[in-house]
């Protein structure tokens, strides 16, 4: 039998990689994990966590204006962007420390450096060659900035947007996906003049059409100027201001331009192609449902595989990998009924199929909808409405999709996801007693199907 330095080398200490290495070590494997940046990866260091902290920070602006209707007198309040960034940074440093300790306590060797695969069992890092029976690639993705004249020179990505020295007076956000909407909400609430430029008719392609239309109605009231069906043709800089030319002939001047046009798998310099690891069109690693690549000793999990690019999915894939390889269990990560949320203002959440996905599959559906002004908005003076939708299979009564735009929808959707994973029917929803008065109770009181 060949002898290796480790049973498992994991490349990338993000959510998926750390979970896989810790669980593998707990099953007795000798594990090393390689990271070129700070342990924690996209989610903890430059994604979900810092973004959500900024979302919380920004949401107080709306709370403060809502409070006026409830009798509060709030005068002279102000916000310090630099204090928010400093507080966020110190929390991220604390979390990074927790990630380091988790690895240490699990007996996993953390190695700093950029890894290159030099063989099916061999990795080169920091001038050394290390060997392992199995290699797990969990390097995630990186922002994809489009090749538009001036874009690469002047646009920032979400990485830099989380660390700006000052709040931009005006910001242009390019894209209409998760990251674009979340950052638009943050900057607009904190006082930046915020423009969202996207090529589709509505933001969030792939989401339910009614959700897309509803959020497009809400965003302008939250201070975001929408530019649908618009492309950027050129970016220039003049006297410290960016001049962003649009395909409709307009030029917008701004202090910052945030590119949020998707992410790409981080596979460019890993040496995978040379080893015969099959990769897809955008550089994603092709894997089986057990996360194995076309080279049997090499596995891959998380965003680098471009399956469902969400942290909890990477965690699940990493855990299933570790339990299956080292824990004598046969586990598979299910990518079905994965709930997700966009932390825009207002937020959006969903689980299961959109109406179009269901009908495209030939399913005869019944749709239930609710459009209402949340109780808090009555005397706050905010006119924003919340929207909910259930897509139900007419034949089986099973709830196939649930969608919501409105405050707390991410918290609400987690419970709905459990019910739907358990194959709940609309009758099960109807038999559930609501909690009154809440917005969530609407999900169990929608009685009349859309005609």
Q: Which two tokens stand for residue 108?
A: 């996993």
Question: Between 199 and 421, whose beta carbon lies closer to ligand NDP?
Answer: 199
The helix (H) or strand (E) run that includes residue 63 is helix 48-68
Rounded-to-integer distance, Cα 131 and Cα 142, Å: 27
Would you say 174 and 155 are in contact if contact means Cβ atoms under 8 Å apart?
Answer: yes
Q: Concatenated DSSP letters for 324-360?
A: HHHSS-------SS--EEE--SS-EEEEE--HHHHHH
Question: Between 182 and 355, whose beta carbon lies closer to ligand NDP?
Answer: 182
Question: Between 355 and 393, whose beta carbon lies closer to ligand NDP?
Answer: 355
Question: Between 6 and 343, whose beta carbon lies closer to ligand NDP?
Answer: 343
Stretch that binds ligand NDP, among 53-61, 179-187, 238-246, 289-297 (CB under 6 A): 179-187
User: Where do the DSSP E strands lie in 275-429?
Assistant: 298-300, 340-342, 348-352, 365-372, 386-393, 399-405
- We find the least distance from the C-beta atom of residue 207 to ligand NDP, in angstroms, to be 10
**To 5 degrees, how large is the angle CA 21–CA 22–CA 26?**
115
Residue tagged 């498992």 (tokens): 8
- We find the least distance from the C-beta atom of residue 261 to ligand NDP, in angstroms, to be 4
Q: Which of 27, 174, 227, 436 is catalytic?
A: 436
Would you say 311 and 338 are in contact if contact means Cβ atoms under 8 Å apart?
Answer: no
Rounded-to-integer distance, Cα 15 and Cα 281, Å: 25
- We find the least distance from the C-beta atom of residue 162 to ligand NDP, in angstroms, to be 12
- We find the least distance from the C-beta atom of residue 175 to ligand NDP, in angstroms, to be 4
- We find the least distance from the C-beta atom of residue 204 to ligand NDP, in angstroms, to be 7
Question: Between 30 and 52, whose beta carbon lies closer to ligand NDP?
Answer: 52
Nearest residue to ligand NDP, using CB? 177
Stretch that binds ligand NDP, among 5-13, 131-139, 169-177, 265-273 (CB under 6 A): 169-177
Tell me which of 199, 217, 234, 394 binds ligand NDP, using CB under 6 A: 199
List the interface residues with ligand NDP, window 294-313 (CB under 6 A). Answer: 309-310
User: Rule CB under 6 A: is residue 175 a binding residue for ligand NDP?
Assistant: yes
Rounded-to-integer distance, Cα 228 and Cα 148, Å: 18
Which residues lie near ligand NDP (CB under 6 A)? Answer: 146, 175-180, 182, 198-200, 205, 260-263, 309-310, 340-343
User: Catalytic positions, please?
Assistant: 436
């Amino acid at each position: 039998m060949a002898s290796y330095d480790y049973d498992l080398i994991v490349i990338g200490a993000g959510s998926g990689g750390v979970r896989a290495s810790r669980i593998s070590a707990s099953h007795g494997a000798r594990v090393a994990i390689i990271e070129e940046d700070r342990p924690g990866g996209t989610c903890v260091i430059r994604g979900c966590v810092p973004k959500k902290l900024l979302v919380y920070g920004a949401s107080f602006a709306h709370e403060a204006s809502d409070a006026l209707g409830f009798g509060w007198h709030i005068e002279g309040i102000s916000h310090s962007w630099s204090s928010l960034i400093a507080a966020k940074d110190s929390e991220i440093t604390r979390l990074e420390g927790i990630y380091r300790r988790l690895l240490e306590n699990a007996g996993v060797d953390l190695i700093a450096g950029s890894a290159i695969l030099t063989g099916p069992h061999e990795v080169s890092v920091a001038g050394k060659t290390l060997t392992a029976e199995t290699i797990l690639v969990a390097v995630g993705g990186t922002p994809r900035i489009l090749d538009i004249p001036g874009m690469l020179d002047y646009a920032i990505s979400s990485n830099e947007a989380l660390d700006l020295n000052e709040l931009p007076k005006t910001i242009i956000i390019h894209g209409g996906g998760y990251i674009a909407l979340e950052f638009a909400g943050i900057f607009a609430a904190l006082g930046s003049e915020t423009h969202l430029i996207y090529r589709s008719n509505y933001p969030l392609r792939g989401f339910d059409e009614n959700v897309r239309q509803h959020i497009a109605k809400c965003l302008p009231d939250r201070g975001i100027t929408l530019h649908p069906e618009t492309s950027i043709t050129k970016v220039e800089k003049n006297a410290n201001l960016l001049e962003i030319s649009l395909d409709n002939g307009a030029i917008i001047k701004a202090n910052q331009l945030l590119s949020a046009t998707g992410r790409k798998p981080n596979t460019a310099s890993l040496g995978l192609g040379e080893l015969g690891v099959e990769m897809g069109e955008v550089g994603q690693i092709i894997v089986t449902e057990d996360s194995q690549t076309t080279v049997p000793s090499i596995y891959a999990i998380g965003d680098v595989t471009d399956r469902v690019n969400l942290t909890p999915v990477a965690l699940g894939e990493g855990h299933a990998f570790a339990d299956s390889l080292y824990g004598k269990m046969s586990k598979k990560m299910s990518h079905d009924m994965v709930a997700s949320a966009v932390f825009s203002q207002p937020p959006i959440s969903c689980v299961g199929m959109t109406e179009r996905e269901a009908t495209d599959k030939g399913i005869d559906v019944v749709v239930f909808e609710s459009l209402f002004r949340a109780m808090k908005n009555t005397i706050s003076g905010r006119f924003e409405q919340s929207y909910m939708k259930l897509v139900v299979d007419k034949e089986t009564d099973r709830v196939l999709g649930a969608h919501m735009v409105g405050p707390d929808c991410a918290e609400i959707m987690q419970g709905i996801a459990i019910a739907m994973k358990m194959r709940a029917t609309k009758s099960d929803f109807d038999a559930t007693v609501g909690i009154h008065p809440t917005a969530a109770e609407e999900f169990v009181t929608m009685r009349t199907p859309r005609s």
